Structure 1
Amino acid sequence: MRSICFYFQVHQPFRLRTYRFFDIGDSHDYFDEFQNRSIVKRVTERSYLPMNNLLLGLIKEYGAAFRVSFSISGIALDQFEMYAPEALASFKKLAATGNVEFLAETYAHSLVALKNPEEFKYQVQKHADRIEKLFGVRPTAFRNTELIYSDQIGSMVYDMGFNVMLTEGAKHILGWKSPNFLYCSGSNPKLKLLLRNYQLSDDIAFRFSNQSWIEWPLTAEKFSKWINDFDKNQSVVNI
């Protein structure tokens, strides 16, 4: 049976305020408190709470047959605690079902893996510690910022104790190969790689509401047919 792996990315940056030349040396208040608070509360009300309630209902309806994963940046968790504790509570409800996996990532949603291995390890461990403290389970799977991967990064990830890593099913890398298989790291075959099917993912993320798209409207029946039309040997679809 083909598995469909849903992973949801949650990130909110700390937004900077307008910092003028004459503020230098006089003011050390760099962040836009009003923007950070209002945006996080608005997105919580319009997106996080409705979606998490929907997922909770599906878990109750289908039990072990329905599972999802989340990658929530550390600074998003910080802002939930500061501005929208109800959002954090909704993620804890999902965690309590046992049907939701929380992935590790860099704490600040940074690109540090490309530059500083020691800082990369520090940020990942800090994030894993935070996830374990909040949700009671330590992550065993890893998602790098923007799904960036190299065999060198894969080696660092495996050495930190992770056995699965998510990455991009990039066409220019895969060539004729399909992302709908379980792959292994070239530097360490013990590290399993799940490749995002960018075509199907982007159909939902970017083209779903585009009325000029040739496939609009995207219905559940149409989307499931696309998945079922894959060769039967393509055993996993990561979205």
Structure 2
Amino acid sequence: MRTVCFYFQVHQPFRLKPYRFFDIGEDHYYWDDYLNKNVIRKAAQRCYLPMNALLMDLIHQYKGKFKVAFSISGTFLDQMEAYSPDVLESFQKLVATGHVELLNETYTHALAALKSKEEFTTLVKKHQDRIKELFNGYTPKVFRNTELIYSDEIGKMVYELGYEGILTEGAKHILGWKSPNYLYTNALEPKLKVLLKNFRLSDDIAFRFSNKTWADYPLTTEKFVTWLNAIPKEEQVVNLFMDYETFGEHQWADTGIFEFMRHLPEAIFRHSDFSFSTPSEVVRQLPGVGKIYVPTPISWADEERDLTAWLGNDLQDEAFDRLYEIENKIKTIDDPELHRDWGYLQTSDHFYYMCTKFFSDGSVHQYFSPYDTPYDAFINYMNVLSDFDLRVKESKQSRK
């Protein structure tokens, strides 16, 4: 069995509104509803609706032989319900075909796995419940942590929550001479299967597709299949993991990205011995060839494939530590609005905006950030966090 496994991350954060020092204690609503709605609706027209329609066509055209998987964050689900129910319905129809797999993650796309096992478990179970509610009782069996962040210990936590497999990055410094095109197992819990992203082929689509200075531009389906066929016959699975916004947002429609995707399955079926599989099919049908050792967390971000996109400078570390100092306080409070804000403030994007990288990945960080500078992101977030902490303290005092 030689197979291609397509996985798409679908996520949008709740972005904070401009929040001044003088708002602390006065204004307890933090979210930029106008910006969030505009981002969702723009992305819906450019990416979600046309790409979902394209995938539905491919599933019908190939009678279920073409398959994909999604991890849809809870913050995205919440915004779809509020701003774009037509997008939610289109995802529901895709899943109903039986050829689209959903994965679990933390509800708010959080970094909790790095800080609190209890909060991590809470957010995972909340996401489980939300997926079951919105997708007709669907229960995922494979997990995808925020930004593919993974370590041996994180894998162990995921296994204890009942999952059969987990996705992560095929980072070169972890693999060494090994290939990402095999199924591996967790070093601490060998029953947990580990799927590794083939970052070269994934990034050819996600990042290099429209780059006219790239030596292999333009990328055609024939060229891509040639690269697949060059993979040694004994290698089992090519995992193509990317942001869903690759299609229409990061790579605009006029680059030809939709047509590339429309014709890729036919090229693969006609000119290679590869099939398409979902992550759970890979996990159940392929044997793990051995343990993969990841003692220090990895991710799919930037050249380093580490945590420095979110926790790489003093600004990020200060905000992250201050955030989780509140955890024990809020656990004893029964206030839905406080818990909603607590979850949304954990979203990894807030820390991503504070990144101060200025070299190969600096432009990428700037592209995704609504702030002029990382320092602006930090100040705005810390002002909000200060007000949130005051609300938590006041709530605890009112209960005494």
The two structures have a TM-score, normalised by structure 1, of 0.98
Using the alignment, how far apart are the partners of 2:115 and 2:20 within structure 1?
Answer: 30
CA shift, 1:20, in A, is: 1.2
Residue by residue over 1:46-73, the C-alpha shift from the partner in whole angstroms, topping out at 9 and shown as x without a partner, is 1000000000000001123111100010
CA shift, 1:102, in A, is: 0.3
1:68 maps to what in 2? 68
Residue by residue over 1:131-189, the C-alpha shift from the partner in whole angstroms, topping out at 9 and shown as x without a partner, is 11111211100001111111111111011110010011000100010000010111111
Look up the equivalent residue of 1:218 and give its one-letter code. Answer: L
Runs of 4+ in 1 over 3 A off after TM superposition: none
Using the alignment, how far apart are the partners of 1:93 and 1:42 within structure 2?
Answer: 21
1:13 maps to what in 2? 13
SS at match of 2:232: coil
Which runs of structure 2 are paired with 1:120-135 in the superposition (5 Å)?
A: 120-135=120-135
1:50 maps to what in 2? 50
- Of residues 20-29 and 56-65 in structure 1, the stretch that sits farther from structure 2 once superposed is 20-29
2:201 maps to what in 1? 200
2:231 maps to what in 1? 230
CA RMSD for the aligned pairs? 0.7
In structure 1, stretches of 5+ residues that fail to align are none
Look up the equivalent residue of 2:117 and give its one-letter code. Answer: P
Using the alignment, how far apart are the partners of 2:149 and 2:233 within structure 1?
Answer: 28
1:35 maps to what in 2? 35
Which runs of structure 2 are paired with 1:1-239 in the superposition (5 Å)?
A: 1-136=1-136, 137-239=138-240
Using the alignment, how far apart are the partners of 2:27 and 2:149 within structure 1?
Answer: 36
- Please tell me whether Structure 1 or Structure 2 has the larger radius of gyration of its CA atoms: 2
Q: How many positions carry a matched residue from both structures?
A: 239
Q: Identity rate of aligned residues, in percent? A: 60
Look up the equivalent residue of 1:226 and give its one-letter code. Answer: W
In structure 2, stretches of 5+ residues that fail to align are 241-400
Using the alignment, how far apart are the partners of 1:119 and 1:40 within structure 2?
Answer: 27
SS at match of 2:191: coil
CA shift, 1:40, in A, is: 0.4
Residue by residue over 1:102-143, the C-alpha shift from the partner in whole angstroms, topping out at 9 and shown as x without a partner, is 000011111110110010011011101111111121110000
SS at match of 1:227: helix
Using the alignment, how far apart are the partners of 1:53 and 1:111 within structure 2?
Answer: 32
